[in-house]
Amino acid sequence: MKLCSSFSLIAAFALLGATTTSHATNPANGITFSDPLDRIILQNGTEMRFDVGIGSGACRLASDPIGIIYTITDRGPNIKTKDAKKLMGLDFGTKKGKIFPTPNFSPTIYKLKVEAGQVTVLDKIQIKTADGKQISGVSNPGTEPAWDVNGNEMNYDPSGIDAEGIVKLKDETFWISEEYGPSILHVGADGRVIERWVPEGVKESILDSGYEVKELLPAILRKRPLNRGIESLAVSPDEAFLYFAMQSPLANPDKETYTKSRLVRIFKIDRSAGKVVGEYVYLIDTPSTFVTDNTTKKRKQNSVKVSEMTAIGTDELVILERISGTTRFFQIDLTTADNILGSKWDDPTTNPSLEQIGADDIKTLSKTLLLDTDDIGGLMKKVEGLAWIGGDQWIMVNDNDFGIAGDPTYIVPVTMPVKQ
């Protein structure tokens, strides 16, 4: 792989009119951002404070003024039951699933202005049902159990989403990708869901969602492992096509296969036709090459994730691969691989499955390395948002998991030339 760019924080800040990084605790981390959410006192007296995690996804509308970007939160503060003792001082025993300390939180779009080394919130758009009722981030039926902080099992929320990717269109509407369905949602400028696309076989479980649900995604996507849904979303510059990628290989036919596979599916949607028209195979890197993440322990293959994508042209994408400490950006062209949509690889009875074969047994997308954060050092963990400013200028945002472990949000302008 050819490294074809360099990192330049100073040049990017100059583009945005910055003269200082006064909000940065570390210059390589850019601008710190905080939006306090809630403070709760648990039954054992433990205090927990949450800060909104705005960086699950990021985008920019090209016609907007320089410095304007949009980001999105995920489902809100959530804690694995197995981590409850460490993070909350509470023992959830053998209960499995997620704890929701603030179950009324609504996934939210943030409109931000990044200028002069500071970030200003211009708007917050909470996601709502068609009639304007705020939705939650609590689990959909058929996913994983949800618990409150007192150990009581919560009802599933058929309208809930775990938002991850976002794009904005010229008509002021948004498309959002999420992990529960897994699904993508068309959302109005006011945050009301216009429609939600799910895989075949999912609609019946969320009939009471309060918005229109369409089974327009391939049924094979129901094989995604829990919390490894549609993490990334992009739109072509002319807005004719949407693109999305699964976060990880599918558990096809089983979880053991997912933990070992390196083959991730990327999809293309024709917006005017309202249907999926392309499916391509992307080869993720091996975990040992993510240097920062391997300094404390040896990482496994399923630690590597696709967490963001941005379209720089029709069928030309920048893909973000990461574990936590190491983030890599690759440029790909969908025309370099076969379109496998509707082939035997979408049939769950195919044996061996796509995820069971080797990379040499199928034509995967060619990819060019643009940036490896191991070459920079001092950068924030868990980068999930990437907004293209234009040319070689970008803004990265991390997901701080609502500050549960004390991590702040960083917004980092960078220079990353793409291959023309």
Rounded average pLDDT per 10-residue block, the chain, 420 residues: 35 33 49 93 92 97 95 97 94 96 97 92 98 97 96 97 98 98 98 98 96 98 97 98 98 97 98 98 98 96 98 98 97 98 97 96 97 89 96 95 94 90
Give me the amino acid identity at 95: K
Domain spans in the chain, listed from the N-terminal domain onward: 9-415
Give the tokens for residue 375. 């070459």
Q: What is the DSSP pairing of strand 193-199 with strand 213-217?
A: parallel
* Beta pairing class for 275-283 and 305-313: unpaired
Tell me the C-alpha distance between 62 and 332, whole Å. Answer: 21
CA distances from 363 to 72, 243, 337, 353 (A): 34, 19, 6, 15
Contact (CB, 8 A) for 83 and 68: no
Can you tell me the distance from the alpha carbon of 180 to that of 200, in angstroms, rounded to the nearest whole number? 14
User: Rounded to an integer, what distance in angstroms lies between the CA atom of residue 23 and that of residue 9?
Assistant: 14
Q: Which among 305, 312, 419 has a CA at the least distance from the CA of 370? A: 419
Topology (CATH) of 9-415: Neuraminidase (2.120.10)
> How many Å is the Cα radius of gyration of the chain?
20
Q: 45 exposed, middle or buried (CB, 10 Å; 0-12, 13-18, 19+)? A: exposed
The two counts, helices (H) then strands (E), for the chain are 3, 26
Strands 146-147 and 98-99: parallel
In 3D space, the residue among 147, 154, 158, 176 whose CA is nearest the CA of residue 74 turns out to be: 176
Beta bridge partners of 123: 111
Q: What pLDDT score does 249 carry? A: 98
Distance CA 100, CA 35 (A): 19
Asked if residues 166 and 231 have their Cβ atoms less than 8 Å apart, the reply is: no
Confidence (pLDDT) at 22: 30
Q: What is the pLDDT of residue 13?
A: 33
Pairing of strands 263-270, 316-322: unpaired
